Structure 1
């Protein structure tokens, strides 16, 4: 038996931020990042807040937020005695806000309150998921926090807020969306509901990501990618993810590679591994994962007369998209040396096997398997 539920109300389309005008006489705690404040983009949100409300902005968010960042936010949250919480920004701001609310309530210092998320990148899908990733900076390890208690009550998706996202970040986050959808599709917990969303996401990414990358003001492409990000989040919130994210959480922290980029580097290699496509990984392209990847290739109208060809076609399409987005395709291109890999490979393999996302991967990996994937990624 599986439970499928969608707790988060979505406000979408042009003028979606007008939803904020409906709140009156609230004490609002806003979590965002420094760029939103320094660039003045935060004004697009605060101008929608009715004057009967008061608000406090916490913007000391850093990428891959560490637990110390969360603790600092909880202290400010306690001081302002908020009864409405809004997270605005990319994955780091949203993940930090989720953790602040969760741990603050666990400590008994933060009251229960509505939680609204307004994403300003199209990538994490965090506005509709029960996932948050917090970093232990000392150990350089990312820890997923997974609980329905951090699901936002509302999400506001306004494409105007992502028009200024730089091309490189558009590429990183957009490929993260694709990774979410593909991992959800081959997850051991996949079902008809998650499949429907994942299939739509994959079609949207291959249709609109390059457009959004080339022209940030292409509002149609921006809106479609924003919707794709959210749909992918809904899909993997049902199914969880897989080995791709299991490796990325630890490897990204060790090598200081942005999360979406790390996932993209891994994606062709993890697909090959899951499908048993090469002699290194069993040479058995007739398993369930291979069939699922082939179904995606057929959906995208790629050559897929058998599973081997279908998986190859999907991998080649991903590589072509990476090239169109001017993305690195090896660890070396990201500044990782052979010495760096040798130093961290054992810890990354161990972290990947212990990561909660790996549990729903369609193939059960070993440390040797993970190490082989990382080796293939270096050159």
Structure 2
């Protein structure tokens, strides 16, 4: 092993075709037709319906349907911003009612809900919780699910459009469950920066810090390989350049497009490498307990987890130095310079360094420690209760 990178066998899965251009959404009908789609279900949420993006995409599909075999069978927007099993089950029932054979997932929670719906339809499930009971379901073998699937992200953070994994909250237990299966990912992803220009600066920044977290956790992973590291390094380079611009000039289409590309690459690299993810282990637990948005949780936790788990990151200091354009040197000083650069970016994009606004009580500590320790991702890397408490104490904030 060299610089933490495996020198042995690895597999790299990248099935999704990416179409990237400002205005590329106009190609949606032709791309659906190329997949054999006949009856299309558009999945999104109320927020995107309110700001007009749902109608923008729906109108493209309606106009193409005239005199064509392709039809917009239904629009479903009762999707929670954070994908939950109740949303998946309701959307699955609707998909069956309208006879959908294709799904277009537009932004937000719809990305993972669409994956849950596709899985439920392909496996004839009434309740997606039947597949989530253990908190993590990892299928190593599978076949195409017979449902055309195109995703259109409206933020640049999760990169969910590229992966065969979905994070779905089991509404019966409150646990954020991980579902991974071959062919769960989109057939096609459309990266259209025009759809992201209305995103508020705070959400732009949170999602960008989340994409940075994804990429960084690839570089500090023993399961990484030259393919994943190349993507992660490119993602970090784009984020450091484009995120401050996208936050302070939201109509800058180049910066918006580069952030979409960065999030896409970061998540694809995560899906093909992560064996341990201490930042996301902590963030997943806190998100579930306090409804903290995923991007905010990752962004606040990233430098704190790195400082508290310094020994975990030290073997990867050279790789991180390369990613952040910092001269390589002795591991600990180099790593601290990387952390300082991350904190500088936090400041540049106006992000908080704690969760004070969520009013987390200090006497919740035992509950927090248990949630982090019991999260399925904790199986990949053990964090001691003492370290969990130290991390939580720093990020709770004063309120």
User: What TM-score, normalized by structure 2, do the two folds share?
Assistant: 0.85
What CA distance in whole angstroms lies between the structure 2 residues aligned with 1:8 and 1:313?
36
Contact 2:153 2:190 in 1 (8 A): yes
Deviation, structure 1 residue 26: 1.6
Aligned to 1:9: 17
Residues 221, 194 of structure 1: CA spacing in aligned structure 2 closer, same or farther, 3 A cutoff?
same
What CA distance in whole angstroms lies between the structure 2 residues aligned with 1:85 and 1:344?
38
SS at match of 2:18: strand
Aligned to 2:75: 57
Count of residue pairs the alignment pairs up = 361
What CA distance in whole angstroms lies between the structure 1 residues aligned with 2:323 and 2:154?
30
Deviation, structure 1 residue 153: 0.8
Aligned to 1:112: 146
What CA distance in whole angstroms lies between the structure 2 residues aligned with 1:311 and 1:152?
36
What CA distance in whole angstroms lies between the structure 2 residues aligned with 1:294 and 1:269?
20
Aligned to 1:228: 262
What CA distance in whole angstroms lies between the structure 1 residues aligned with 2:47 and 2:355?
28
What CA distance in whole angstroms lies between the structure 1 residues aligned with 2:247 and 2:80?
24
Deviations 1:163-206 (A, max 9, x none): 11111110111101000000111122101110101011111111
What CA distance in whole angstroms lies between the structure 2 residues aligned with 1:266 and 1:227?
23
What CA distance in whole angstroms lies between the structure 1 residues aligned with 2:369 and 2:322?
37
Deviations 1:272-300 (A, max 9, x none): 24432xxxxxxxxxx6x324234322443
Contact 2:88 2:116 in 1 (8 A): yes
Contact 1:298 1:310 in 2 (8 A): no
Residues 44, 293 of structure 1: CA spacing in aligned structure 2 closer, same or farther, 3 A cutoff?
farther
Contact 1:246 1:351 in 2 (8 A): no
Deviation, structure 1 residue 370: 2.1
Q: Name which of 348, 362, 365 aligns with 1:342.
A: 365
Q: Name which of 81, 94, 98 aligns with 2:111.
A: 94
Shifted more, 341-350 versus 140-149: the winner is: 341-350
Quick check: 1:261 aligned with 2:261?
Answer: no
SS at match of 1:272: helix
What CA distance in whole angstroms lies between the structure 1 residues aligned with 2:271 and 2:152?
18
Deviations 1:188-225 (A, max 9, x none): 21011101010111111111101100111011100100
Deviation, structure 1 residue 375: 2.2
Deviation, structure 1 residue 104: 2.2
SS at match of 1:47: helix
Q: Name which of 32, 38, 42 aligns with 2:54.
A: 42
Runs (5+) with no aligned partner, structure 2: 1-8, 127-144
Query: What is the RMSD computed on CA atoms of the aligned residues?
Result: 2.1
Aligned to 1:211: 245
Contact 1:328 1:334 in 2 (8 A): no
Aligned to 2:160: 126
Deviation, structure 1 residue 54: 2.1
Deviations 1:111-136 (A, max 9, x none): 72111111111000100011211113
What CA distance in whole angstroms lies between the structure 2 residues aligned with 1:331 and 1:36?
26
SS at match of 1:314: helix
SS at match of 2:60: coil
Aligned to 1:135: 169
Aligned to 1:281: none
What CA distance in whole angstroms lies between the structure 2 residues aligned with 1:132 and 1:338?
31
Shifted more, 292-301 versus 260-269: the winner is: 292-301
Aligned to 2:41: 29
Contact 2:43 2:105 in 1 (8 A): yes
Shifted more, 39-48 versus 317-326: the winner is: 39-48
Runs (5+) with no aligned partner, structure 1: 277-286
Deviation, structure 1 residue 328: 1.4
What CA distance in whole angstroms lies between the structure 2 residues aligned with 1:331 and 1:69?
27
Q: How does 1:1-379 map to 2 (within 5 A)?
A: 1-22=9-30, 23-24=32-33, 26-49=38-61, 50-51=64-65, 52=68, 53-55=70-72, 56-90=74-108, 92-107=109-124, 112-137=146-171, 139-240=173-274, 242-276=277-311, 289-339=313-363, 341-342=364-365, 344-352=367-375, 355-356=376-377, 358-361=378-381, 364-379=382-397
Contact 2:112 2:160 in 1 (8 A): yes
